Amino acid sequence: MPFSYVVYSEHRLVISTGSGRVTWEEIKERQDQTKSDPDFNPEFNQVVDLRAVTSFDMTSEQVRLLARRMIFSPRSKRAFVAASPAVFGVGRMWEIFTELSANPSQIRVFYDLPLALKWLNLETLPQ
């Protein structure tokens, strides 16, 4: 499964992790699964770890559709972490589509995990 997630209720955090080639369908499935998870709260923050993603198999329109789905609260902070410029670019596209939506949320894209954690007021990821 190239895209997975873990809910850390005690930390009010969701960590989503991608690897390899990630598709639109996989992300949509994980969003649906996360939203219906009994441990999930839309007020939680999120780390989207894309450092092991090699490519995305989706159109810009599909990115727009995913970005505009209301999974997290507008007050949630969501940090996307990428290793490559191409993956960073898809993250930025997601951030922009979210900012332009009727219900924008706080998304930032980073190359550096420690900076992403600092933005989320975290020192380390939960184990």
Q: State how far the alpha carbon of 75 is from the alpha carbons of 4, 107, 121, in Å.
A: 23, 10, 14
- Residue 127 belongs to a domain: no
- Residue 124 belongs to a domain: no
- Residue 105 belongs to a domain: yes
- Residue 99 belongs to a domain: yes
- Residue 126 belongs to a domain: no
- Residue 16 belongs to a domain: yes
> Binning pLDDT at 50, 70 and 90, where does residue 102 land?
confident
> Binning pLDDT at 50, 70 and 90, where does residue 1 land?
low
Domain that holds residue 71: 3-119
Rounded distance, CA 75 to CA 55, Å? Answer: 29
CATH number of the domain enclosing 41: 3.30.750.24
Global pTM reads 0.92
Rounded distance, CA 31 to CA 27, Å? Answer: 6
The predicted pLDDT at position 36 comes to 96
pLDDT tens by residue, 18-34:
999 999 999 999 999 99
- Residue 74 belongs to a domain: yes
pLDDT tens by residue, 33-86:
999 999 999 999 999 999 999 999 999 999 989 888 889 999 999 999 999 999
The tally of domains found in the chain comes to 1
pLDDT tens by residue, 103-113:
788 999 999 99
- Residue 125 belongs to a domain: no
C-beta of residue 48 within 8 angstroms of C-beta of residue 31 = no
